[in-house]
Structure 1
Amino acid sequence: MAFLIDKPLFLLLFLTVSSMHFVVCSGLTDSEILIKFKGSLSNASALDNWSDMTNPCKGDISNWNGVICHKGFVIGLQLEGMGLTGKIDVQTLIGLSVLRSLSFMNNGFDGPFPELKKLKSLRSIFLSKNHFSGAIPDDAFEGMFKLKKVLLAENEFTGAIPSSLAALPKLIVLRLEGNKFTGKLPKFSATNFASFNVSNNELDGPIPATFSKMDFKSFSGNKGLCGQPVNECNTPNTSTSISTTSNTSNSNSNSESTSKKPSMVCIIVVGIAMAVALAAIVVAALILLQSLKRTSEESIEAPPLPSDLKKKTRSKEADRSAQGSPSEHSSNGRKKADMAKLSFIRDDGERFDLSDLLKASAEILGSGCFGLSYKAALSTGPVMVVKRFKQMNNVGKEEFHEHMRRIGRLSHPNLLPLVAYYYRKEEKLLVTDYIEKGSLAVHLHGHQALGQPSMDWPTRLKIVKGVAKGLSYLSKELPSITAAHGHLKSSNILLNQSNEPLLTDYGLIPVINQENAQELMVAYKSPEYLQLGRITKKTDVWSLGILILELIIGKLPPNFLPQGKETEGEDLASWVNAIPQEQRKNQVIDKKISGIKNSEGEILKLLKIGMSCCEGEVEKRLDLKEAIERINKLKEKDSDEDFFSSYASEEDMKKGMCDDFAIS
């Protein structure tokens, strides 16, 4: 017998059940699911505080070891280095409907690869440093389209790399080193990897062309791999067959000749082989010497943990670099030590070297357009941020040093100063101070996750004025750079404790590879570049205008989001332009700052300035000086005269009430 339920009632029932933290498919609470999952594990003393007497989550705070929470839900399990064994009960974990990340690294799990494809919502899988073995089924990652990070390093996996893994469209981190994978390296759908390593396996065949610019260490230890960046693939030579002519009258002489000819061929082949082997030994020796020289130049390779499982951890690669670096007490130790030194910009701060950063506890802050950023806490106390740049390999060493010194001479209250830098042909490191409060983007769009109130109007105005001052200084001090900042956006603006903005990633256009800059930098998303293929002195003004709209509207600019993100709608300026001016007060201003008594007039003035900065035609766009002058005239509150004369309708002026302009 079938029961009919109308749609509104069904939705009400569904939402009610969801809000009670019950999972429809299993009927169990998160705590019951986790306790059942714990039962499948052995040696689980580290999870003794998992008890049905408490809830695993209270808001964003976890009450249970290794559980990551968000708004009362379990979104991740970070059970690392706990000595766990047994079976990973995937079927039970299906009940955690919002599970995003699983990390079982550095435990004692063994056996075949778990059936994790049942957890379709996973973004991150971390199984490195266990004893998993056997071939991974070819469809093991089928349907996991949201998966971004996979760490399977240092296990005992065999067989081919699954084609379903290579087909993941959003994959940005893949670590398979230290296994026994065989066969050819597949062609991956994703190409913009932040970290990729298949070294020390048993792979063979050509490396796909999309990996040709990667570090060769990502492929080392696979004797059968060839192609860039390892070496060229050699085409086998066709051998010439030796034929003998049969003749009955001189069969003896023919048989003698045929018995001698193969021996001569063998001698020639052996001779060639010995020559090739000798040449290979010489080449290997040269490569080894070069490798020793470059050991101290290795970049920081902190474990690519997901941002939602932020945990201080030491990088295995960093440990290797620190432990395996040549001794400074060797005959050429002084030269190698000099190679590993950072180039410091300022003289007033504490000095440290690359090995100090490699030894520091590291935490990934995020994966930006250029690469990963790390928070490194030095043993002596200071906390630094290290940014890796791989899109600067076209710039020469002297040119790079000169430009960094030029950047280092800049000094302004609204610029985050460069502390030090490190040059290597394949990538560069830029070191700055760590700013505890984080970026404007986080505080503007992620305040709820941080448990903070939304940003008020006086703070937003203060930030705009500070950004304008920083841009003005950059344009004066870097007149030869077309767009002195070039990469202005809310995630590149940090806030100090008094909410004063600090600009970062400025002045990089001269050293960024142009083929990459067009994909990554904000300046190259401007109307003039999209229409005319060039940037201008007013390009930074356009970026400032977009930032102003973002602050007023409270929405992220869709065209600034990383490639591959699902975005809806047009850019902010076009969206505002499509709304009649008389309706913008009600439809455009962020409701968190709208309706503020005696402030709407100034907010609308700033909106007008922002739109003037976003003019598609460069000639009609405000220049930076005029934009800054207009911004500096803005106040936190309106004067009655300015408010009514500029924005009130005739009827509102008769009423004489500012409250009529409140947005409901």
Structure 2
Amino acid sequence: MVCIIWRHSLLFIVLASVLSFLPCAQSGDAEVLLSLKSAIDPLNRLRWEGNTVCQWHGVKGCINGRVTKLVLEFLNLTGTLDQKILNQLGQLRVLSFKENSISGPIPDMSGLVNLKSLYLNRNNFSGNFPASISSLHRLKIVVLAGNQISGSIPDSLTKLARLYVLYLQDNQLTGSIPPLNQTSLRFFNVSGNQLSGDIPATAALLRFNASSFSGNIDLCGVQVNNQCRSPTAGGPSSAPVYPAERKGSASRRSKLIKIIAGTLGGFVGLVVLLLLCICCKRKLSSKEEKSKGEVGSAEAAEAGEASGGGGGGNTGQKEGGGFSWEGEGLGSLVFLGGGDQQMSYSMEDLLKASAETLGRGTMGSTYKAVMESGYIVTVKRLKDARYPRLDEFRRQMDLLGRLRHPNVVPLRAYFQAKEERLLVYDYFPNGSLFTLIHGNMLITCFLFHIIIFIMSTLVG
């Protein structure tokens, strides 16, 4: 009997100890957050009250009363960050102060050993790049864009083996770009800084086009189509060098003229072919109108099947120049490239993207889509989402998606839903003469894709 009482007493003591511990842990993070609030929230926008920390505004995740996700965005927070306060939140996985007015240097964050995502973009941070970031080995996302950070980008960033996003654009960074070569790196942007030197030709950095490096006038490399000048020798140049350089320049000029002439000729030919296809399309459309009464019900059934159940002849075109729409049962993007393309963005990211109209044509409208992550793609929204039928449309998209050539804009993905069809291409901004010439080639090849699509539709 004594043993039973003793066991029950021991169990009661253990339970009481555990229950008393949990509020203390929760209270500990509460005190830290209130200290943080006093430093960056003079306007009292954060209504943090009560002992339930996990229900406070901006606290998006907790484990055993410890804050794991702190997201304080668009709150006009000011002041500076105190490293002693911040480093006490040792269980943080996600930290975001996006779109505020916090100033001063980014503090040492070496105490945030569990941090995976860091968003400090669009604030007033200054000072050198925070070297402590390189010690956070779990870090995957680093977004510091839109601040006043100066100094060089540390080479130690190459130690972040899981780095997935690195956005440092629109700062005052100088020096060279580190030789980043993480296979996990999918999003990268250092545009709008004062960087210089040769861009490392690593496998990771070769994935990104000129838009990721633009605005740094002293950068050179394959990615920006600008060769770096080789260092000159100490003595004077010898005379025979100049004739050789002139000969090479003439040869390059001749090739350039041939490229321009060939591109213009091909472009004119394709435009003529496109006009012929449009005429044929109109003739077929007039014939279809005559027989519409006979086959109208069958076409409606086919359209309902192709769009996933429902919908008449409406193209789904919306006013306002955007390409977002409303509907139920939206599917997902069908990627046509390698496996790494499927990790870059989703249909949800595309829906949230800001759209800029690039042009409108007989096939539909073309948009420049800038996603929240900063990734840019070109989206072609087809006018008629009924023809060809779904199976034939998939076959054509699969065929176009396999085309790969240095002068061909690759079709990365497509989307099929009720009264909607989207084609997603890489985005190529205008730039140097080299880019413009090859851009004409890319536009020509884009038209070639559309012509193939039209001809396949007419034949089908």
| Partner residue in 2 for 1:124 | 117
Equivalent position of 1:191 in the other structure: 183
TM superposition shift of 1:171: 0.7
Q: 1-side partners of 2:389 and 2:315: how far apart?
A: 13
Give the direction of change, closer, same or farther, for the CA distance of 1:425–1:236 in structure 2 (3 Å limit): same
What is the SS of the residue equivalent to 1:229?
helix
Matches within 5 A, 1:473-512: none
Instruction: Give deviations 1:50-85, integer Å, cap 9, x for gaps.
Output: 01x24132xxxxx32222124654221211111111
* Partner residue, 1:570: none
Structure 1 segments unaligned to the other structure (5+ residues): 1-8, 58-62, 244-264, 291-343, 380-385, 389-400, 435-510, 512-664
User: What is the CA–CA distance in structure 1 between the aligned matches of 2:223 and 2:110, rounded to whole Å?
Assistant: 32
Q: Contact 1:374 / 1:387 at 8 angstroms: preserved in 2?
A: no
Shift of the alpha carbon at 1:120? 1.0
Question: Do the aligned residues in 2 keep the contact of 1:141 with 1:164 (CA within 8 Å)?
Answer: no
Q: Deviations over 1:441-469 (max 9, x none)?
A: xxxxxxxxxxxxxxxxxxxxxxxxxxxxx
Equivalent residue for 1:225?
219
Q: How does 1:61-460 map to 2 (within 5 A)?
A: 63-70=55-62, 73-138=66-131, 140-209=132-201, 210=203, 211-230=205-224, 231-238=226-233, 241=236, 350-351=316-317, 356-357=322-323, 369-375=342-348, 376=351, 409-410=390-391, 425=409, 428-432=412-416
- Trace 1:30-69 onto structure 2 (pairs within 5 A): 30-47=29-46, 49-51=47-49, 53-57=50-54, 63-69=55-61
Q: Give SS of 1:196's match.
A: strand
Question: d(CA) in 2 for partners of 1:28 and 1:67?
Answer: 14
Residue deviations 1:588-616 (CA, integer Å, cap 9, x gap): xxxxxxxxxxxxxxxxxxxxxxxxxxxxx
Task: Number of aligned residue pairs: give it.
Answer: 295
Secondary structure of the 1:116 match is coil
Q: Of Structure 1 and Structure 2, which has the larger fraction of its residues in strand?
A: 2
1:16 is matched with 18
Change (3 A) 1:428 1:43: farther
What residue identity is the alignment partner of 2:409?
A: K
Q: Offset at 1:355? A: 5.0
Partners of 1:75 and 1:100 within 8 A in 2 = yes
- Residues 27, 51 of structure 2: 8 Å contact kept: no
Q: Which residue of 2 aligns with 1:524?
A: none
Give the CA deviation at 1:150: 0.6
Q: 1:43 to 1:408 in 2, by over 3 A?
A: farther
Deviation at 1:90, TM superposition (A): 3.5
Tell me: CA distance 1:374–1:355, structure 2 relative to 1, closer, same or farther (3 Å).
Answer: farther
AA aligned opposite 1:232: Q
**Aligned AA for 2:118?**
I
Q: Which has the larger radius of gyration?
A: 1
Q: Aligned partners of 2:319 and 2:110: how far apart in 1?
A: 44
Rounded to whole Å, the distance in 2 between the matches of 1:196 and 1:425 is 20
Judged with a 3 Å threshold, the aligned counterparts in structure 2 of structure 1 residues 378 and 83 are, in CA distance, closer, same or farther, namely closer
Is the contact made by 1:206 and 1:225 (CA closer than 8 Å) also made in structure 2? yes
**In 2, Cα distance between equivalents of 1:182 and 1:18:** 52
Per the TM alignment, residue 189 of structure 1 is displaced from its structure 2 partner at its CA by 4.5
Q: Distance in 2 between matches of 1:150 and 1:197?
A: 11
Percentage of identical aligned residues:
31
Aligned residues of 1:169 and 1:189 also touching (Cα < 8 A): no
Rate the CA distance shift 1:19–1:37 in 2: closer, same or farther, 3 A.
Answer: same
CA-CA distance at 1:132 after TM superposition: 1.0
Alpha-carbon shift at residue 199 of structure 1 (Å): 0.6
Residue by residue over 1:353-373, the C-alpha shift from the partner in whole angstroms, topping out at 9 and shown as x without a partner, is: 99514799xxxx999844211
TM-score (normalizing by structure 1):
0.38
Distance in 1, Cα, partners of 2:343 & 2:386: 21
**C-alpha distance in 2 between matches for 1:98 and 1:406:** 53
CA contact (8 A) 2:88 2:111 kept: no
Contact conserved, 2:86 with 2:109, CA < 8 A, in 1? no
Verify the 8 A CA contact 1:107 1:129 in the aligned structure 2: yes
CA distance in 1, matches of 2:166, 2:389: 35
Say whether the 8 Å CA contact 2:107–2:130 is kept in structure 1: no
1:226, 1:353 → 2: CA distance? 42
CA distance in 1, matches of 2:207, 2:314: 38
Counterpart secondary structure, 1:125: strand
Quote the Cα distance in structure 1 between the aligned partners of 2:20 and 2:230: 61
Tell me the alpha carbon deviations over residues 379-424 of structure 1, each in whole angstroms, 9 at most, x when there is no partner.
9xxxxxx999xxxxxxxxxxxx9xx99996239xxx9xx9xx9998
Separation in structure 2 between the aligned mates of residue 85 and residue 164 of structure 1, nearest angstrom: 30
User: C-alpha separation between the residues in 2 aligned to 1:427 and 1:150?
Assistant: 29
User: C-alpha distance in 2, partners of 1:17/1:188?
Assistant: 48
1:185 CA drift (Å): 0.5
Q: Which amino acid aligns with 1:373?
A: S
Cα gap change, 1:377 to 1:149, in 2 (>3 Å): closer
* 8 Å contact from structure 2 (residues 101, 123) kept in 1: yes
Distance in 1, matches of 2:389 and 2:33, equals: 52
Q: CA deviation at 1:350?
A: 2.1
1:262 corresponds to which residue? none
C-alpha spacing 1:240/1:35, structure 2 compared with 1 (3 Å)? closer
The one-letter code of the counterpart of 2:223 is: P
**Aligned partners of 1:235 and 1:93: how far apart in 2?**
46
Task: Name the aligned partner's letter for residue 53 of structure 2.
Answer: P
